[in-house]
Structure 1
Amino acid sequence: MAASRHGLSDSRYMNRARHTQYGGMSSSRKPADGFALATMLLLCSIWGMQQVAVKLAAPHVPPLMQMTLRSGISALLVGLLCWVRGERLSFRDGTLRPGLLAGAFFAAEFLFVGEGLRHTHASHMAVFLYTSPVFAALGLHWLVPSERLRPAQWAGMGVAFAGILLAFGGGFLQGGVSLEMIGGDALGLLAGLAWGATTVVVRVSALSDARPTQTLLYQLLGGFVFLLPVALLTGQAGPVSLTGVAWASLLFQGIVVCFASYLVWFWLLRRYLASTLSVFSFMTPLFGVSAGVLVLHERADASFAVGAVLVLAGILVVSAPGLLRPRPPPPEVPQSSHA
């Protein structure tokens, strides 16, 4: 799923990996090893900390403004990287319209995240945001013949939705969750829907064959351009108090999360099978929930915990291609050495 946000769906990336060369390297990729696992653990911990970083800085910078600034910072860095690499960004390659649409969905996603974090826990947001593979799978099922869901995946879909219902309603029925938190959770679910829609747009358009940096730049620019006027119109552009916590959070989100970690992710995708990496990426919500509990001292009630486990289990069944699809034939080219 992470590959989908940053340029390609897992299946499309694996297909390209078998038939093309990328960046001058051999197209052969290998299953994840210990180094890849350790790197994915680091990446997932970084991605899982995003919502916690937003909550920590919320008293100093409104969450929606944080979403805006981090998109702008990251877009600037990605643009500079493209310039250094000599990558020419063309709007005549059929990517402009889907790029604008992907940028709009990206902005909607983080609008819902920013608003949702004002009303619910970061740990809740980490789970509901990562329901995106469910929505992406549903959209691709209807639009892409090769992405038809199998019976096991439909079962996983049912498990995930059962978990959503339990995580939503269990705590409320027990009197431990307020209507305000339910509203924040709903916004988290809408953020997952918007992320899933972004994945579908990338998968079915010319963006699926574009450079990952170009696809990412469309989304980051869309986030900045669309969110800035919303923040201004809703009074959430300020007040901004650039304290140490605020600076640390913004730099972490803009440089570490949305720029550096994505470059490392691209590097991994050039060397390892996307199917094995995508399975590891589902550790991200676990890190997000753990960080919310340990850093922000959020309380996770039993119904939410059980619901979250069901959601993650269902998503894993829906999205892990290595568990549900026949293993592809080995590439004909020799295995390249690990760089």
Structure 2
Amino acid sequence: MSERKPVDAAAVGMMIVFCFVMGLQQIFLKATGDDIAPILQIGIRSGIAACLVCVYLVLRRKRLSFADGNWKPGLLVGLLFAVEYLFLGEALRYTSASHAVVFLYTSPLFSALMLHFLIDSERLSVAQWTGILLAFGGIAITFLLHDGTSPVNTQPNQLWGDFLALLGGLAWGATVVLIRSTRLARVPSEQTLLYQLTMACLVLVATAFLTGQTTINPTPLAITSVAFQTLVISFAGLLVWFWMLNTYIASRLGVLSFMTPLYGVVLGAWLLDEAIEPGFVYGASMVITGIVLVSGHGWIKQRLWRAVGRRKLPARGKG
């Protein structure tokens, strides 16, 4: 495998677009939730996207390999992926899109904590522990400063929805750990994506039927939502993301991914007229700062050392 490249201008540009697109995911699900239940939308989009991935594999003449037994962790990672989106879909029934995107993107915190105890090379540094404490402190502030009687709170049972989105972040973090620590680390990314999309389709569509969330009102916005999520998010978006992970240094991309919750909050307020409570602003700021510290501590440290080195260079030249 070729060595991964540092993030360049092209990668930054792709991440800006990618994070904006992913920030729209919760907006579409929330805006069309009365026409098609979020979990049914995600199930449908996952099934269609899985078929598109199969077509992509055929056209690229890529073969799936199951000889090493990777299907076992593959099914488990697919189940975790389904659980993540089950929590997200249910969360959007109770909380705002802006709240959901911030809590969902706590996943790097959970994956870092789990990897710390599983892999010696993934031990957390002081800066990362600081980031984790800061982020969980922000989560606590968001919950504790929540005023259920406030006129800006238009979502009943919002705390329950926030908690479900946080569980979605936990499931996402566990998915990352499972991929990193099993045979899936050596499996082509398209095969891992296929496991995830297939299981998400099966689990979420079945859950929608069992819970009576199968009503479909085919409004133009609802059809646009499913098409956008299928083609742009579940198929093209995830393929691009996996390609970037295989091309660029993952930790550097992780630092840039903090833009997604920022986009989600801004788009929720702009497109859905979601009110942003002061407690949420304080807590979300701490969470995002903590995520940046956890995901990008190595990059931040490197930049600081370079800055210090540049300041010392002129002094060496004097003589």
Q: TM-score over 0.5 for the alignment?
A: yes
Aligned counterparts, 1:72-221, within 5 A: 72-172=47-147, 175=150, 177=153, 180-221=157-198
Q: Deviations over 1:86-105 (max 9, x none)?
A: 22112222211111111111
Query: What is the aligned counterpart of 2:225 among 246, 249, 270?
Result: 249
Query: For each residue in 1:194-236, what CA deviation from the matched residue of structure 2 results, as whole angstroms up to 9, or x when unmatched?
Result: 1011111111100011101111111111101111211111001
Q: For residue 153 of structure 1, give the secondary structure of its aligned residue in structure 2.
A: helix
Note closer, same or farther for the CA distance 1:298–1:179 as it changes in structure 2 (3 Å cut): closer
CA distance in 2 between partners of 1:229 and 1:269 (Å): 32
**Which residue number in structure 2 is paired with residue 296 of structure 1?**
272
Distance in 2 (CA, whole Å) between partners of 1:269 and 1:192 is: 19
Q: Give secondary structure in 2 for the equivalent of 1:79.
A: helix
Distance 1:51 1:296 in 2: 11
CA shift for structure 1 position 57:
1.4
Letter of the 2:180 partner, please give it. Answer: R
Q: Percent identity?
A: 47
CA contact (8 A) 2:24 2:267 kept: yes
Change in Cα spacing, 1:291 to 1:138, as seen in structure 2 (3 Å) is same
Task: In structure 2, list runs of 5 or more residues that go unmatched.
Answer: 304-319
Question: Counterpart of 1:8?
Answer: none
Q: Deviation at 1:324?
A: 5.9
- TM-score computed with the length of structure 2 as normaliser: 0.89
Aligned to 1:11: none
C-alpha contact 1:48 1:284 (8 A) present in aligned 2? yes
Change (3 A) 1:297 1:179: closer
Q: How does 1:225-240 map to 2 (within 5 A)?
A: 225-237=202-214, 239-240=215-216
Structure 1 gaps, min length 5: 1-19, 21-26, 328-339
Task: Flag the 1:266–1:198 CA change in 2: closer, same or farther, 3 A.
Answer: closer
Radius of gyration: which is bigger?
A: 2
The corresponding residue for 1:310 is 286
Contact kept in structure 1, 2:94 and 2:156, CA below 8 Å:
no
Q: Which one of 49, 53, 60 corresponds to residue 28 of structure 2?
A: 53
Opposite residue 103 of structure 2, the aligned amino acid is: F
3-state SS, counterpart of residue 320 of structure 1: helix
1:223 matched residue in structure 2: 200
Q: Is the 8 A contact 1:98 1:201 kept in 2?
A: yes
Native 8 Å contact 1:317 1:323 kept in 2: no
In structure 1, C-alpha distance between the alignment counterparts of 2:199 and 2:301, rounded to whole Å = 35
**Aligned position for 1:10:** none
- Give RMSD over aligned pairs: 1.8
* CA distance in structure 1 between the partners assigned to 2:281 and 2:302 by the alignment: 33
1:241-268 Cα shifts (integer Å, max 9, x gaps):
1221111100111110111122333443
In 1, are the aligned partners of 2:115 and 2:122 still within 8 Å (CA)?
yes
Q: How far, CA to CA, are the matches of 2:91 and 2:184 in structure 1? A: 29
The separation in 2 between residues aligned to 1:91 and 1:38, in whole angstroms, is 36
Q: Which moved more, 1:31-40 or 1:223-232?
A: 31-40
Q: Which amino acid aligns with 1:109?
A: E
Q: Is the 8 A contact 1:120 1:184 kept in 2?
A: yes
2:40 corresponds to which of 25, 41, 65:
65
Q: How far apart, CA to CA, are the structure 1 residues paired with 2:109 and 2:4?
A: 27
* 8 Å contact kept, 1:104–1:219: yes
Cα distance, 1:281 vs structure 2: 1.3
Q: Residue 139 of structure 2 aligns to a residue in which SS?
A: helix
Deviation at 1:149, TM superposition (A): 0.9
State whether residues 293 and 300 of structure 1, in contact with CA within 8 Å, keep that contact through their aligned partners in structure 2: yes
**1:131 touches 1:315 (CA, 8 Å); kept in 2?**
yes
What is the CA-CA distance between 1:42 and the residue it aligns to?
A: 0.6
